[in-house]
């Protein structure tokens, strides 16, 4: 299974794709608009991920919060 996720942040119209194995995060080019349409529905769409949490700032992820 690929370790790639697509995500977006509230207030930012850009979607991003993260390739965990390559260690990269890049803007997603939504050429046909379907990802944007799915996002606009505001319905959760989760497939192949069993845990995700949005944190601000990112250093909280490494602060022992989830130890």
Which H or E run contains 5? strand 4-8
Tell me the whole-structure pTM to 2 decimals. Answer: 0.70
What are the residue ranges spanned by the domains of the chain?
1-42
**Sheet (strand 4-8) strand order:** 4-8, 15-19, 24-27
CA dist 23 and 31 (Å) reads: 23
Q: Higher confidence at residue 59 or residue 22?
A: 22
Confidence class for position 40, pLDDT limits 50, 70, 90? confident
Confidence class for position 20, pLDDT limits 50, 70, 90? very high
Residue 35 in this model has a pLDDT that exceeds 70: yes
What count of residues does the chain have? 67
């Amino acid at each position: 299974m690929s370790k790639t996720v697509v995500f977006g942040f509230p207030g930012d119209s850009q979607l991003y794709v993260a390739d965990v194995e390559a260690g990269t995060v890049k803007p997603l080019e939504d050429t046909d608009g379907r990802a944007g349409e799915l996002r606009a529905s505001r319905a959760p769409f989760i497939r192949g991920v069993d845990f995700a949490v949005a944190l601000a700032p990112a250093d909280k992820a490494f602060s022992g919060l989830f130890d």
